[in-house]
Amino acid sequence: MKNPILEFIEERKQRVNSNATNQDLQSAAKAFNVASNTAQYSYNFSWMGRPIIQYPQDMLAMQEIIWEIKPDLIIETGIAHGGSLIYYASLLELIGHGEILGVDIDIREHNRIEIEKHPMYKRIKMIQGSSVSSDTISKVAEIAKGKQRVLVTLDSNHTHEHVLQELNLYAPFVTSGSYMVCFDTIVEDLPNDYLPGRSWSQGDNPKTAVWEFLKSNADFEIDKQIDNKLLISVAPDGYLKRK
């Protein structure tokens, strides 16, 4: 007897796989990625009242990952307005399990006030400090101690050197079968002048850091299925799954 649920899942899998060779779709997605990043499209959205500064497609992918992993702890570097902290905390609240730890070198007071008074703050912890300092890593390690399922997202300074440091420092926290998601790898695929005044560019960005990291970290691999599914994303090659 046929199982319609499994049939649907298999159809979706085949459709997603075919996206990799669908040149019309790939070209359309590339054009949108370039135009939308130049227009700062990601700044247009909020989650539960807080600016999230992410692409909706990536956030839906994160929802799928969080539902699958059901992490005890999510670690995020880069807080900004706190929208993604609130988003992840709300998903954990729906699941009824887990907490989110945000790390930022400068948690601005007006953002801290809004985050701390939010109803989802009950699942949030924050550390102010450089994401790559030994002091911060020690604090993160203390919070992560004993956690069975840990997910990491990296979204702070986007230079190659900084992101490579983060990848190497936070990789040990990621548990088997979970993910380390490196955002803004899209920089490598955008014109160098897409947003003037940034310290990252082609050849010096999160994607180049991911490529370098993977040379000596065979226990992580790029989840190409997510890339093929999303097409519109700020994190191509950035969804790293730990084996």
Can you give the residue range of the structural domain that contains 10?
Answer: 4-242
pLDDT of 215: 98
| Mean pLDDT on 131-147 | 98
| Mean pLDDT on 57-72 | 98
The number of distinct structural domains making up the chain is 1
| Mean pLDDT on 210-234 | 98
Q: What is the 3-state secondary structure (H, E, C) of the chain?
A: CCCHHHHHHHHHHHHHHHHCCCHHHHHHHHHHHHHHHHCCHHHHCEECCEECCCCHHHHHHHHHHHHHHCCCEEEEECCCCCHHHHHHHHHHHHHCCCEEEEEECCCCHHHHHHHHCCHHHHHEEEEECCCCCHHHHHHHHHHHCCCCCEEEEECCCCCHHHHHHHHHHHHHHCCCCCEEEECCHHHHHCCCCCCCCCCCECCECHHHHHHHHHHCCCCEEECHHHHHHHCCCCCCCCEEEEC
pLDDT greater than 90 at residue 70:
yes
Please, which pLDDT band fits residue 193 given cuts at 50, 70 and 90? confident
pLDDT of 198: 86
Q: What is the CATH number of the domain that holds 222?
A: 3.40.50.150
pLDDT greater than 80 at residue 23:
yes
pLDDT of 2: 87
pLDDT greater than 80 at residue 218:
yes
